[in-house]
Structure 1
Protein backbone atom coordinates (compact mmCIF):
# COMPACT_ATOMS: atom_id res chain seq x y z
CA UNK A 1 0.00 0.00 0.00
CA UNK A 2 1.30 3.43 -0.97
CA UNK A 3 0.38 6.41 1.20
CA UNK A 4 -0.84 9.67 -0.35
CA UNK A 5 0.38 12.98 1.06
CA UNK A 6 -1.46 15.97 -0.39
CA UNK A 7 0.87 18.84 -1.20
CA UNK A 8 -0.84 22.15 -0.39
CA UNK A 9 1.60 24.55 -2.04
CA UNK A 10 -0.56 25.19 -5.12
CA UNK A 11 -3.55 26.15 -2.99
CA UNK A 12 -1.37 28.51 -0.95
CA UNK A 13 0.03 30.06 -4.12
CA UNK A 14 -3.51 30.79 -5.29
CA UNK A 15 -4.43 32.28 -1.92
CA UNK A 16 -1.38 34.53 -1.91
CA UNK A 17 -2.38 36.22 -5.18
CA UNK A 18 -4.80 38.34 -3.13
CA UNK A 19 -4.75 39.61 0.44
CA UNK A 20 -7.62 37.32 1.39
CA UNK A 21 -7.77 34.14 3.51
CA UNK A 22 -9.13 31.95 0.72
CA UNK A 23 -8.75 29.31 -0.41
CA UNK A 24 -8.44 28.25 3.21
CA UNK A 25 -5.47 25.89 3.49
CA UNK A 26 -6.76 24.26 6.66
CA UNK A 27 -10.18 23.60 5.16
CA UNK A 28 -8.63 21.98 2.09
CA UNK A 29 -6.33 19.87 4.25
CA UNK A 30 -9.27 18.76 6.37
CA UNK A 31 -11.26 17.71 3.29
CA UNK A 32 -8.33 15.70 1.89
CA UNK A 33 -7.64 14.05 5.24
CA UNK A 34 -11.29 13.17 5.76
CA UNK A 35 -11.25 11.61 2.28
CA UNK A 36 -8.41 9.32 3.37
CA UNK A 37 -5.10 11.07 2.67
CA UNK A 38 -2.32 9.82 4.95
CA UNK A 39 -0.96 13.30 5.47
CA UNK A 40 -0.16 16.69 4.03
CA UNK A 41 3.01 18.14 2.55
CA UNK A 42 4.21 21.75 2.57
CA UNK A 43 7.35 23.50 1.35
CA UNK A 44 7.67 26.79 3.27
CA UNK A 45 10.19 28.68 1.12
CA UNK A 46 12.06 31.70 2.52
CA UNK A 47 10.09 34.13 0.31
CA UNK A 48 6.78 32.57 1.49
CA UNK A 49 5.42 32.68 -2.05
CA UNK A 50 3.10 29.80 -1.23
CA UNK A 51 2.92 28.02 2.15
CA UNK A 52 4.16 30.13 5.03
CA UNK A 53 5.58 29.32 8.42
CA UNK A 54 2.21 30.22 9.93
CA UNK A 55 0.51 27.67 7.69
CA UNK A 56 2.87 24.96 8.88
CA UNK A 57 2.12 25.75 12.52
CA UNK A 58 -1.62 25.79 11.85
CA UNK A 59 -1.46 22.44 10.05
CA UNK A 60 0.39 20.90 12.98
CA UNK A 61 -2.37 22.12 15.29
CA UNK A 62 -5.04 20.71 12.94
CA UNK A 63 -3.38 17.30 12.83
CA UNK A 64 -2.93 17.21 16.59
CA UNK A 65 -6.55 18.15 17.24
CA UNK A 66 -8.40 16.23 14.53
CA UNK A 67 -6.08 13.77 12.79
CA UNK A 68 -3.48 12.52 15.27
CA UNK A 69 -2.82 9.43 13.15
CA UNK A 70 -1.84 11.45 10.03
CA UNK A 71 1.50 12.96 9.09
CA UNK A 72 2.98 16.37 8.42
CA UNK A 73 5.73 16.26 5.80
CA UNK A 74 7.76 19.46 5.57
CA UNK A 75 10.07 19.96 2.58
CA UNK A 76 12.91 22.43 2.25
CA UNK A 77 16.55 23.31 2.11
CA UNK A 78 18.20 22.70 5.50
CA UNK A 79 19.13 26.25 6.45
CA UNK A 80 18.79 27.36 10.10
CA UNK A 81 15.36 28.93 9.53
CA UNK A 82 13.98 25.71 8.06
CA UNK A 83 15.50 23.43 10.68
CA UNK A 84 14.15 25.58 13.50
CA UNK A 85 10.66 25.43 12.01
CA UNK A 86 10.57 21.66 11.51
CA UNK A 87 11.71 21.14 15.11
CA UNK A 88 9.06 23.56 16.37
CA UNK A 89 6.20 21.87 14.52
CA UNK A 90 7.45 18.34 15.21
CA UNK A 91 7.34 17.40 11.53
CA UNK A 92 6.72 13.68 11.20
CA UNK A 93 8.81 13.60 8.04
CA UNK A 94 11.38 16.12 6.87
CA UNK A 95 12.19 15.98 3.17
CA UNK A 96 15.44 17.75 2.38
CA UNK A 97 15.67 19.30 -1.08
CA UNK A 98 18.65 21.07 -2.72
CA UNK A 99 16.62 24.03 -3.96
CA UNK A 100 18.01 27.46 -4.57
CA UNK A 101 15.57 29.98 -2.99
CA UNK A 102 14.84 31.42 -6.44
CA UNK A 103 13.75 28.11 -7.98
CA UNK A 104 10.15 27.87 -9.10
CA UNK A 105 9.91 24.25 -7.95
CA UNK A 106 12.12 21.31 -7.03
CA UNK A 107 13.64 19.95 -10.24
CA UNK A 108 16.74 17.95 -9.29
CA UNK A 109 18.07 15.79 -6.51
CA UNK A 110 21.05 16.09 -4.18
CA UNK A 111 24.64 15.57 -5.28
CA UNK A 112 25.26 12.96 -2.60
CA UNK A 113 28.97 12.64 -3.25
CA UNK A 114 29.67 16.37 -3.04
CA UNK A 115 27.17 17.17 -0.28
CA UNK A 116 27.15 13.90 1.63
CA UNK A 117 29.10 15.13 4.66
CA UNK A 118 26.80 18.11 5.14
CA UNK A 119 23.72 15.95 4.68
CA UNK A 120 24.95 13.36 7.17
CA UNK A 121 25.34 16.07 9.82
CA UNK A 122 21.88 17.48 9.13
CA UNK A 123 20.26 14.04 9.06
CA UNK A 124 21.83 13.11 12.39
CA UNK A 125 20.51 16.30 13.98
CA UNK A 126 17.02 15.74 12.63
CA UNK A 127 16.89 12.16 13.81
CA UNK A 128 17.98 13.24 17.28
CA UNK A 129 14.78 15.30 17.32
CA UNK A 130 12.69 12.30 16.28
CA UNK A 131 12.05 13.20 12.65
CA UNK A 132 11.96 10.68 9.83
CA UNK A 133 14.23 12.00 7.08
CA UNK A 134 13.81 11.69 3.33
CA UNK A 135 16.24 13.06 0.72
CA UNK A 136 15.11 14.32 -2.67
CA UNK A 137 16.95 12.30 -5.28
CA UNK A 138 17.28 11.94 -9.01
CA UNK A 139 16.21 8.42 -10.06
CA UNK A 140 19.72 7.08 -10.57
CA UNK A 141 20.53 3.66 -9.13
CA UNK A 142 24.19 4.53 -8.59
CA UNK A 143 23.26 7.38 -6.23
CA UNK A 144 21.55 5.20 -3.65
CA UNK A 145 24.62 3.85 -1.86
CA UNK A 146 25.78 7.42 -1.28
CA UNK A 147 22.29 8.42 -0.12
CA UNK A 148 22.27 5.60 2.41
CA UNK A 149 25.61 6.75 3.82
CA UNK A 150 23.95 9.94 5.07
CA UNK A 151 21.85 7.95 7.54
CA UNK A 152 18.55 9.03 5.98
CA UNK A 153 15.49 6.82 6.29
CA UNK A 154 14.13 7.36 2.79
CA UNK A 155 14.74 8.91 -0.59
CA UNK A 156 12.07 10.73 -2.56
CA UNK A 157 12.58 9.92 -6.22
CA UNK A 158 12.05 12.88 -8.55
CA UNK A 159 9.34 11.81 -11.00
CA UNK A 160 9.27 14.98 -13.11
CA UNK A 161 10.71 13.43 -16.31
CA UNK A 162 8.33 10.48 -15.98
CA UNK A 163 5.35 12.77 -15.41
CA UNK A 164 6.36 14.96 -18.33
CA UNK A 165 6.45 12.01 -20.74
CA UNK A 166 2.71 11.28 -20.53
CA UNK A 167 2.31 11.75 -24.32
CA UNK A 168 5.42 9.80 -25.33
CA UNK A 169 5.07 6.07 -24.54
CA UNK A 170 8.68 5.25 -25.37
CA UNK A 171 10.13 7.91 -23.09
CA UNK A 172 7.57 7.12 -20.42
CA UNK A 173 8.70 3.49 -20.35
CA UNK A 174 12.34 4.54 -20.23
CA UNK A 175 11.71 6.86 -17.29
CA UNK A 176 9.63 4.26 -15.49
CA UNK A 177 12.43 1.73 -15.92
CA UNK A 178 14.88 4.25 -14.47
CA UNK A 179 12.64 4.84 -11.47
CA UNK A 180 12.24 1.10 -10.89
CA UNK A 181 16.00 0.52 -11.01
CA UNK A 182 16.61 3.39 -8.58
CA UNK A 183 13.92 2.13 -6.21
CA UNK A 184 15.41 -1.37 -6.21
CA UNK A 185 18.88 0.04 -5.52
CA UNK A 186 17.54 2.20 -2.68
CA UNK A 187 15.74 -0.73 -1.08
CA UNK A 188 18.89 -2.84 -1.36
CA UNK A 189 20.60 -0.16 0.73
CA UNK A 190 17.87 -0.30 3.39
CA UNK A 191 16.14 2.91 2.27
CA UNK A 192 12.40 3.22 1.85
CA UNK A 193 11.23 5.01 -1.26
CA UNK A 194 8.92 8.00 -1.67
CA UNK A 195 8.12 9.63 -5.00
CA UNK A 196 6.77 12.89 -6.28
CA UNK A 197 6.50 15.54 -8.98
CA UNK A 198 4.04 15.88 -11.86
CA UNK A 199 2.15 12.71 -11.00
CA UNK A 200 -1.33 12.46 -12.49
CA UNK A 201 -3.90 9.85 -11.51
CA UNK A 202 -2.89 7.71 -14.48
CA UNK A 203 0.82 8.29 -13.88
CA UNK A 204 0.46 7.36 -10.23
CA UNK A 205 -1.30 4.14 -11.20
CA UNK A 206 1.48 3.22 -13.62
CA UNK A 207 4.18 4.08 -11.09
CA UNK A 208 2.68 2.12 -8.21
CA UNK A 209 1.84 -0.83 -10.44
CA UNK A 210 5.48 -1.01 -11.53
CA UNK A 211 6.93 -0.24 -8.07
CA UNK A 212 4.35 -1.40 -5.49
CA UNK A 213 6.87 -0.98 -2.66
CA UNK A 214 6.75 2.83 -2.88
CA UNK A 215 5.94 4.00 0.62
CA UNK A 216 4.49 7.41 -0.20
CA UNK A 217 3.68 9.75 -3.05
CA UNK A 218 3.45 13.50 -2.50
CA UNK A 219 1.16 15.13 -5.05
CA UNK A 220 0.04 18.73 -5.40
CA UNK A 221 -0.10 20.41 -8.80
CA UNK A 222 -1.96 17.75 -10.79
CA UNK A 223 -4.19 16.93 -7.82
CA UNK A 224 -5.38 20.52 -7.51
CA UNK A 225 -5.84 20.76 -11.29
CA UNK A 226 -8.16 17.75 -11.11
CA UNK A 227 -9.89 19.25 -8.09
CA UNK A 228 -11.16 22.09 -10.30
CA UNK A 229 -13.30 19.45 -12.01
CA UNK A 230 -13.96 16.85 -9.33
CA UNK A 231 -13.50 18.68 -6.02
CA UNK A 232 -10.87 17.96 -3.36
CA UNK A 233 -12.59 14.99 -1.72
CA UNK A 234 -13.33 13.10 -4.93
CA UNK A 235 -9.90 13.90 -6.39
CA UNK A 236 -8.23 12.61 -3.24
CA UNK A 237 -10.22 9.40 -3.52
CA UNK A 238 -9.23 9.04 -7.18
CA UNK A 239 -5.57 9.30 -6.25
CA UNK A 240 -6.02 6.87 -3.38
CA UNK A 241 -7.48 4.37 -5.82
CA UNK A 242 -4.40 4.78 -8.01
CA UNK A 243 -2.12 4.34 -5.02
CA UNK A 244 -3.66 1.03 -4.14
CA UNK A 245 -3.68 -0.66 -7.55
CA UNK A 246 -0.95 -3.19 -8.28
CA UNK A 247 -2.48 -5.14 -11.15
CA UNK A 248 -2.47 -2.44 -13.83
Structure 2
Protein backbone atom coordinates (compact mmCIF):
# COMPACT_ATOMS: atom_id res chain seq x y z
CA UNK A 1 0.00 0.00 0.00
CA UNK A 2 1.45 3.44 -0.89
CA UNK A 3 2.53 5.73 1.90
CA UNK A 4 -0.05 8.21 3.14
CA UNK A 5 0.64 11.93 2.90
CA UNK A 6 0.25 14.14 5.96
CA UNK A 7 0.62 17.84 5.15
CA UNK A 8 2.62 19.73 7.76
CA UNK A 9 1.05 23.16 8.26
CA UNK A 10 3.91 24.82 10.12
CA UNK A 11 5.39 26.65 7.13
CA UNK A 12 2.00 28.08 6.28
CA UNK A 13 1.57 29.24 9.86
CA UNK A 14 5.04 30.80 9.84
CA UNK A 15 4.12 32.85 6.76
CA UNK A 16 0.86 33.97 8.36
CA UNK A 17 2.66 34.98 11.55
CA UNK A 18 4.75 37.58 9.69
CA UNK A 19 1.74 39.90 10.01
CA UNK A 20 -1.03 40.35 12.54
CA UNK A 21 -3.51 39.12 9.93
CA UNK A 22 -5.46 35.89 9.45
CA UNK A 23 -3.97 34.96 6.07
CA UNK A 24 -2.78 32.72 4.66
CA UNK A 25 -5.39 30.65 6.46
CA UNK A 26 -3.90 27.60 8.12
CA UNK A 27 -7.21 25.78 8.27
CA UNK A 28 -8.24 27.00 4.82
CA UNK A 29 -5.15 25.56 3.17
CA UNK A 30 -5.44 22.47 5.31
CA UNK A 31 -8.94 21.97 3.95
CA UNK A 32 -7.70 22.36 0.37
CA UNK A 33 -4.98 19.78 1.06
CA UNK A 34 -7.46 17.26 2.44
CA UNK A 35 -9.88 17.84 -0.43
CA UNK A 36 -7.04 17.20 -2.89
CA UNK A 37 -6.23 13.82 -1.37
CA UNK A 38 -3.96 14.31 1.65
CA UNK A 39 -4.56 11.68 4.31
CA UNK A 40 -3.94 13.96 7.26
CA UNK A 41 -2.54 17.15 8.71
CA UNK A 42 0.54 17.55 10.91
CA UNK A 43 1.40 20.36 13.31
CA UNK A 44 4.32 21.04 15.64
CA UNK A 45 3.15 23.53 18.28
CA UNK A 46 6.45 24.81 19.66
CA UNK A 47 6.53 26.56 23.04
CA UNK A 48 7.14 29.99 21.49
CA UNK A 49 4.31 29.47 18.95
CA UNK A 50 6.50 30.83 16.16
CA UNK A 51 4.77 28.50 13.70
CA UNK A 52 1.53 26.84 14.76
CA UNK A 53 -0.23 28.71 17.54
CA UNK A 54 -2.01 26.86 20.29
CA UNK A 55 -5.18 28.60 19.12
CA UNK A 56 -4.86 26.83 15.73
CA UNK A 57 -5.26 23.38 17.23
CA UNK A 58 -8.99 23.36 17.97
CA UNK A 59 -9.97 24.62 14.47
CA UNK A 60 -7.76 22.01 12.81
CA UNK A 61 -9.24 19.27 14.97
CA UNK A 62 -12.74 20.53 14.14
CA UNK A 63 -11.96 20.67 10.40
CA UNK A 64 -11.02 17.02 10.39
CA UNK A 65 -13.88 15.92 12.63
CA UNK A 66 -16.54 17.87 10.76
CA UNK A 67 -15.51 17.52 7.12
CA UNK A 68 -12.83 14.83 6.78
CA UNK A 69 -13.36 12.25 9.53
CA UNK A 70 -11.32 9.69 7.58
CA UNK A 71 -8.25 11.92 7.83
CA UNK A 72 -5.76 11.93 10.69
CA UNK A 73 -4.43 14.67 12.93
CA UNK A 74 -0.76 14.27 13.84
CA UNK A 75 0.72 16.42 16.61
CA UNK A 76 4.48 16.40 17.05
CA UNK A 77 6.59 17.94 19.76
CA UNK A 78 8.95 17.51 22.67
CA UNK A 79 7.15 15.66 25.49
CA UNK A 80 7.10 18.33 28.18
CA UNK A 81 4.01 18.87 30.32
CA UNK A 82 2.71 21.71 28.14
CA UNK A 83 2.82 19.60 24.98
CA UNK A 84 1.24 16.61 26.68
CA UNK A 85 -1.57 18.83 27.96
CA UNK A 86 -2.19 20.03 24.40
CA UNK A 87 -2.32 16.42 23.24
CA UNK A 88 -4.88 15.58 25.91
CA UNK A 89 -6.96 18.61 24.97
CA UNK A 90 -6.97 18.14 21.18
CA UNK A 91 -6.88 14.34 20.85
CA UNK A 92 -4.72 13.76 17.77
CA UNK A 93 -4.80 10.41 16.03
CA UNK A 94 -1.02 10.19 16.24
CA UNK A 95 1.53 11.75 18.56
CA UNK A 96 5.07 12.07 17.20
CA UNK A 97 7.67 12.69 19.89
CA UNK A 98 10.72 14.69 18.81
CA UNK A 99 13.86 15.61 20.81
CA UNK A 100 13.76 19.31 19.93
CA UNK A 101 15.33 21.93 22.10
CA UNK A 102 13.01 24.98 22.25
CA UNK A 103 15.72 27.09 20.59
CA UNK A 104 16.01 24.87 17.51
CA UNK A 105 14.81 26.35 14.24
CA UNK A 106 13.46 22.97 13.16
CA UNK A 107 13.82 19.27 13.96
CA UNK A 108 17.32 18.20 12.99
CA UNK A 109 18.01 14.83 14.64
CA UNK A 110 16.34 11.78 16.05
CA UNK A 111 16.21 10.57 19.64
CA UNK A 112 19.20 9.17 21.45
CA UNK A 113 17.23 6.10 22.56
CA UNK A 114 19.90 4.88 24.97
CA UNK A 115 20.05 8.18 26.82
CA UNK A 116 16.30 8.83 26.82
CA UNK A 117 14.86 5.35 27.28
CA UNK A 118 13.39 6.10 30.73
CA UNK A 119 11.79 9.37 29.61
CA UNK A 120 10.37 7.86 26.47
CA UNK A 121 9.14 4.73 28.21
CA UNK A 122 7.26 6.83 30.74
CA UNK A 123 5.73 9.19 28.18
CA UNK A 124 4.85 6.51 25.65
CA UNK A 125 3.23 4.48 28.40
CA UNK A 126 1.09 7.46 29.41
CA UNK A 127 0.06 8.15 25.81
CA UNK A 128 -0.70 4.52 25.01
CA UNK A 129 -2.88 4.24 28.12
CA UNK A 130 -4.96 7.07 26.69
CA UNK A 131 -5.29 5.37 23.31
CA UNK A 132 -2.91 7.41 21.15
CA UNK A 133 -0.76 5.97 18.40
CA UNK A 134 2.82 7.02 19.18
CA UNK A 135 5.72 7.57 16.78
CA UNK A 136 9.31 8.39 17.78
CA UNK A 137 11.62 10.55 15.67
CA UNK A 138 14.64 8.45 14.69
CA UNK A 139 17.83 8.94 12.73
CA UNK A 140 18.38 6.90 9.59
CA UNK A 141 21.24 4.95 11.11
CA UNK A 142 20.88 1.15 11.13
CA UNK A 143 21.54 0.69 14.86
CA UNK A 144 19.67 -2.42 15.94
CA UNK A 145 20.33 -1.94 19.65
CA UNK A 146 18.92 1.59 19.67
CA UNK A 147 15.86 0.53 17.71
CA UNK A 148 15.29 -2.33 20.13
CA UNK A 149 15.19 0.22 22.96
CA UNK A 150 12.71 2.27 20.91
CA UNK A 151 10.47 -0.76 20.49
CA UNK A 152 10.66 -1.55 24.20
CA UNK A 153 9.09 1.84 25.02
CA UNK A 154 5.84 0.53 23.56
CA UNK A 155 5.81 2.99 20.65
CA UNK A 156 3.90 1.98 17.53
CA UNK A 157 6.15 3.58 14.94
CA UNK A 158 9.32 5.48 14.28
CA UNK A 159 9.52 8.50 12.00
CA UNK A 160 12.75 8.45 10.04
CA UNK A 161 14.47 11.84 9.99
CA UNK A 162 15.15 12.34 6.29
CA UNK A 163 16.85 15.75 6.50
CA UNK A 164 20.29 14.44 5.44
CA UNK A 165 18.67 12.62 2.51
CA UNK A 166 16.84 15.74 1.36
CA UNK A 167 19.93 17.85 1.92
CA UNK A 168 22.05 16.01 -0.63
CA UNK A 169 19.79 16.90 -3.58
CA UNK A 170 22.93 17.90 -5.53
CA UNK A 171 25.04 14.89 -4.53
CA UNK A 172 23.58 11.71 -6.10
CA UNK A 173 26.20 9.35 -4.69
CA UNK A 174 25.69 10.52 -1.12
CA UNK A 175 21.93 10.43 -1.64
CA UNK A 176 22.13 6.75 -2.57
CA UNK A 177 24.25 5.95 0.50
CA UNK A 178 21.90 7.75 2.89
CA UNK A 179 18.88 6.14 1.24
CA UNK A 180 20.42 2.74 1.85
CA UNK A 181 20.89 3.57 5.54
CA UNK A 182 17.26 4.67 5.77
CA UNK A 183 16.18 1.45 4.10
CA UNK A 184 18.18 -0.75 6.48
CA UNK A 185 16.83 1.16 9.46
CA UNK A 186 13.28 0.67 8.21
CA UNK A 187 13.89 -3.06 7.79
CA UNK A 188 15.27 -3.37 11.32
CA UNK A 189 12.30 -1.42 12.67
CA UNK A 190 9.86 -3.69 10.85
CA UNK A 191 11.56 -6.76 12.30
CA UNK A 192 10.94 -5.29 15.76
CA UNK A 193 7.28 -4.69 15.02
CA UNK A 194 7.57 -0.94 14.52
CA UNK A 195 5.74 0.84 11.72
CA UNK A 196 7.77 3.36 9.74
CA UNK A 197 6.94 6.98 8.91
CA UNK A 198 9.34 9.50 7.38
CA UNK A 199 9.68 13.23 7.22
CA UNK A 200 11.88 16.28 6.63
CA UNK A 201 12.95 17.85 3.35
CA UNK A 202 11.08 15.36 1.21
CA UNK A 203 10.19 16.46 -2.32
CA UNK A 204 8.41 15.21 -5.41
CA UNK A 205 11.84 14.25 -6.77
CA UNK A 206 13.21 12.31 -3.80
CA UNK A 207 10.02 10.66 -2.61
CA UNK A 208 9.77 7.90 -5.25
CA UNK A 209 13.24 6.45 -4.49
CA UNK A 210 12.43 6.54 -0.76
CA UNK A 211 9.11 4.80 -1.28
CA UNK A 212 10.76 2.19 -3.50
CA UNK A 213 13.50 1.50 -0.92
CA UNK A 214 10.97 1.30 1.94
CA UNK A 215 7.94 -0.46 0.44
CA UNK A 216 6.27 -0.68 3.85
CA UNK A 217 6.45 3.06 4.45
CA UNK A 218 3.25 4.00 6.26
CA UNK A 219 3.23 7.80 6.14
CA UNK A 220 5.27 10.82 5.10
CA UNK A 221 4.88 14.19 6.80
CA UNK A 222 5.89 17.05 4.51
CA UNK A 223 5.78 20.79 5.09
CA UNK A 224 8.60 22.96 3.74
CA UNK A 225 9.01 21.42 0.28
CA UNK A 226 5.27 21.02 -0.19
CA UNK A 227 4.58 24.62 0.81
CA UNK A 228 7.32 25.85 -1.52
CA UNK A 229 5.77 23.93 -4.41
CA UNK A 230 2.32 25.25 -3.51
CA UNK A 231 3.56 28.78 -4.27
CA UNK A 232 4.18 27.61 -7.83
CA UNK A 233 1.47 25.03 -8.48
CA UNK A 234 -1.23 25.83 -5.92
CA UNK A 235 -2.01 23.70 -2.88
CA UNK A 236 -4.44 21.33 -4.55
CA UNK A 237 -2.19 20.44 -7.49
CA UNK A 238 0.85 20.23 -5.20
CA UNK A 239 -0.88 17.71 -2.94
CA UNK A 240 -1.81 15.61 -5.94
CA UNK A 241 1.82 15.72 -7.15
CA UNK A 242 3.09 14.57 -3.77
CA UNK A 243 0.47 11.85 -3.53
CA UNK A 244 1.55 10.53 -6.93
CA UNK A 245 5.18 10.68 -5.78
CA UNK A 246 4.17 8.43 -2.87
CA UNK A 247 2.80 5.93 -5.39
CA UNK A 248 -0.86 6.79 -4.93
CA UNK A 249 -3.25 6.85 -7.90
CA UNK A 250 -4.92 10.27 -7.94
Q: TM > 0.5 between the two?
A: yes
Q: Deviations over 1:74-96 (max 9, x none)?
A: 00000111001111111100000
Corresponding residue of 1:98: 99
Instruction: Work out which of the residue numbers 233, 238, 241 in structure 2 matches 1:230.
Output: 233
SS at match of 1:94: strand
RMSD: 1.0
Corresponding residue of 1:60: 61
1:44 partnered with 2:71: no
Corresponding residue of 2:165: 162
Unpaired stretches in structure 2, ≥5 consecutive residues: none
Corresponding residue of 1:202: 205
Corresponding residue of 1:28: 29
CA shift, 1:113, in A, is: 0.6
Instruction: Work out which of the residue numbers 160, 176, 181 in structure 2 matches 1:178.
Output: 181
1:8 partnered with 2:13: no
Task: Indicate if the aligned counterparts of 1:3 and 1:216 stay in contact, CA closer than 8 A.
Answer: yes
Extract structure 1 runs of 4+ deviating beyond 6 A: none
Q: TM-score, normalised by structure 2?
A: 0.97
Measure, in 1, the Cα distance between the counterparts of 2:188 and 2:58.
36
CA shift, 1:159, in A, is: 0.3
Unpaired stretches in structure 1, ≥5 consecutive residues: none
Instruction: Work out which of the residue numbers 236, 243, 247 in structure 2 matches 1:240.
Output: 243
Measure, in 2, the Cα distance between the counterparts of 1:58 and 1:120.
31
CA shift, 1:173, in A, is: 0.4
User: Would you say how many aligned residue pairs link Structure 1 and Structure 2?
Assistant: 246
Q: TM-score, normalised by structure 1?
A: 0.98
